[in-house]
Amino acid sequence: MAHITLPEGLPGITGPLAFRPETAKPLRALAELLLRGPNTLSSADREIIATYTSSQNDCHFCQTSHGAAAAHHLGNPSELDANFVLIAQIKRDFESAPISSKLKALLNIAGHVQQGGKRVTTEDIARARREGATDTEIHDTVLIAAAFCMYNRYVDGLATWAPEEQEAYIPMGARMAHEGYVAGPAPNSAARPEAVTV
């Protein structure tokens, strides 16, 4: 049960977002900008950074929903199972996963941000540059990882409800990937309990 009385039937962050619409607006806008805004990093790469950070923070709702969004960004629905396998591998050990050296270097930075900002070293940055990351891509990686250290704590710090099984997150991930984070359900509306989430 959640620590405070939240609107019923809304999973993860959507409960507290509906509880406090004033803060929901910038929280949704930030996710939309960072994960779906114009960027030289693909949305799949950005969702993978978010998923990995959420996994390191042990946030079930965020790592599963953003993992599903990443899987949808990575390819057509027939490839979904393979994409979920890849996401699980990245969460377990990204260095040995079949992804670009650049994404590995960015995930290394994100992992250090998750532990604490001061853990990011000049060598972490140099490695990302060697693999072709730009200053803006490094900036965005740091801010995506930092933002998920916020969202994860918001979701778990209020003990929000979330579905356990991955199947529940497949349609949710599709909406996050294709419709985005801004046009959510009306506050307190449980009509689409799985609707657009962060």
Partner 1 sequence: MPHIPLPENAPGPRGPMLFRPEVIPPLSELAEILMRGPSTLTLAERELIGTFVSARNDCRYCQTIHGAVAAHYLGATEEQENLVQQIKRDPSNAPISAKLKALLNIAGQVQQGGKLVTGEDIAQARRHGASDLEIHDTVLIAANFCMMNRYVDGLATWTPDDPDFYRERAAALAEHGYRGSSSRK
Site for partner 1 in 37-56 (CB under 8 A): 37
User: x/- contact string, 129-148, with partner 1 (CB under 8 A)?
Assistant: ------xx-xxx-xx-xxx-
- Pick between residue 70 and residue 147 the one whose CB is nearest to partner 1: 147
Among 35, 87, 113, 172, binds partner 1 (CB under 8 A): 113
Among 51, 55, 57, 197, binds partner 1 (CB under 8 A): 57
What is the SS3 assignment for 12? Answer: coil
Please tell me the distance from the alpha carbon of residue 105 to that of residue 136, in angstroms, as a whole number: 14
First to last CA, the chain: 20
Please tell me the distance from the alpha carbon of residue 192 to that of residue 138, in angstroms, as a whole number: 36
* CA of residue 108 relative to chain centroid, distance: 16
What is the SS3 assignment for 4? Answer: coil
> Which amino acid belongs to residue 114?
Q
> Which amino acid belongs to residue 43?
S
Q: Is 190 in the site for partner 1 (CB under 8 A)?
A: no
Among 58, 79, 95, 179, binds partner 1 (CB under 8 A): 58
Question: Which residues would be at the binding site for partner 1 (CB under 8 A)?
Answer: 3-5, 16, 19-20, 22-23, 25-27, 29-30, 33-34, 37, 57-59, 109, 112-113, 116-118, 120, 122, 125, 135-136, 138-140, 142-143, 145-147, 149-159
